[in-house]
Amino acid sequence: MGKRGQFPQHGYLYAALVFCISTGVNSQIIVKIGNVGDSSTIRCDLLNAQWYKNGTKLDETPKVKPTDSSLHIFCLELSDNGIYECRNESNTHQPRNYNLTVKNP
């Protein structure tokens, strides 16, 4: 930190801004907040997970790298805002939902 109450002018994703919202249906939405230009990693505790954004399955691109345990998004843009979900291939577990909010610093 610089002067009291001021933050440095760096593009970091602040992990302290991650929290859960209960939806009342035995599921939660994990909220992540990042800045334009940063990278973000979302972790999933399900085995053999598939990743979705706003209901559409994500394939690997130079910008997005889904694995069975995490989703890496490089160089965040405002268009990356949305609900991300990891689902177990066999549907034996409740999907995990993440709301990614990208802000201009």
pLDDT at 55 over 60: yes
Residue bearing the bigger pLDDT, 66 or 14: 66
Tell me which residue has tokens 């345990």.
Answer: 69
Average pLDDT over residues 48-66: 95
Say what the pTM is: 0.72
Residues 6+ apart with CB under 8 A from 92: none
Quote the pLDDT of residue 27.
59
- Report residue 83's pLDDT band, with 50, 70 and 90 as the boundaries: very high
Tell me which residue has tokens 């599921």.
Answer: 27
Average pLDDT of the chain?
Answer: 80
Token pair in block for residue 28? 């939660």
Quote the pLDDT of residue 48.
85
Token pair in block for residue 8? 């440095």
Q: Is the separation of the CB atoms in 6 and 75 below 8 Å? A: no
SS3 53: strand
Superfamily of domain 29-103: Immunoglobulins (2.60.40.10)
DSSP state of 54: T
CA distance 13 to 35: 6
Domain coordinates in residue numbering, the chain: 29-103
Residues 6+ apart with CB under 8 A from 17: 31, 32, 33
